Amino acid sequence: MDAAEWDRRYAEARQWSVEPNRTAAELIGSLPPGRALDVATGEGRMALWLAAGGWEVEAIDFSAVGLRRGQENAPPGAQVTWRVADVITADLGNGQFDLVLVLYLHLPRARLVDVLARSAAAVRPGGHLLVLGHDRENITRRTGGPQDPDLLYDPELLGGAVPGWRISRLDRIDRSTDSGTAVDTLLFAQRP
């Protein structure tokens, strides 16, 4: 989907919960606050949750409507910079962030590999990268996200994005949905 399609979806109704992603929150909840980059933030639920925990957050997405929803939900004083940009071409920085999140960004594999490499490059030494997305196994289960294998994750893809990093988690995890149990691929790693 392009920015115009996402703008239309976000204009119709809230697409996601205002609560943070549970898996992400559990993994990063004990990290000391610093600077975070939320890649493809959508409506900004993770950016807002991080800001509430004392993080300084840059939230990037190509949907101006999604970002506006995030801004409208931001409490006074929330340290979130909202940036309208396409993550495929955007400058994500180089070694500037203590934490980079890439949650449920589904692009054709070649583009995703590039975005993951640039997201990893944005993490400073000692910082963390958290990536979470719909896994390829969902095709056989017929649940959980896109049904195009080129848009789905697997542990090999994510592990290849962080050679030499300290990997805390790299696995498939089950997630309950209204249509059954879906599978996500999770990477949580620290840059040396």
Burial of 93 (0-12, 13-18, 19+ CB in 10 A): middle
- Reply yes or no on whether the pLDDT at 157 is more than 90: yes
For residue range 56-95, list pLDDT tens digits in order: 999 999 999 999 999 999 999 999 999 999 999 999 999 9
How far apart are alpha carbons 84 and 60 in whole angstroms? 6
- CB neighbourhood size of 147 (10 A): 12
Tokens of 84: 């309208």
Band (pLDDT 50/70/90 cuts) for residue 155 is: very high
Query: What is the DSSP-derived secondary structure letter of residue 179?
Result: T
pLDDT at 43: 94
- Listed residue (148, 132, 151, 137) closest to 182, CA to CA: 137
Question: Which pLDDT belongs to residue 6?
Answer: 61
- List of residues 6+ apart from 182 with CB closer than 8 A: 134, 135, 138, 141, 143, 144, 145, 174, 175, 176
Q: What span, in angstroms and rounded, lies between the C-alpha atoms of 8 and 66?
A: 9
Q: In this structure, which CATH number among 3.40.50.880, 3.40.50.720, 3.40.50.150, 1.10.3720.10 belongs to the domain 3-190?
A: 3.40.50.150
The domain locations on the chain are 3-190
Give the containing element (helix H, strand E) for 129.
Answer: strand 123-134
Residue located via tokens 């639920």: 45
pLDDT of 182 strictly over 80? yes
pTM of the model: 0.93
Structure confidence at residue 19 (pLDDT): 87
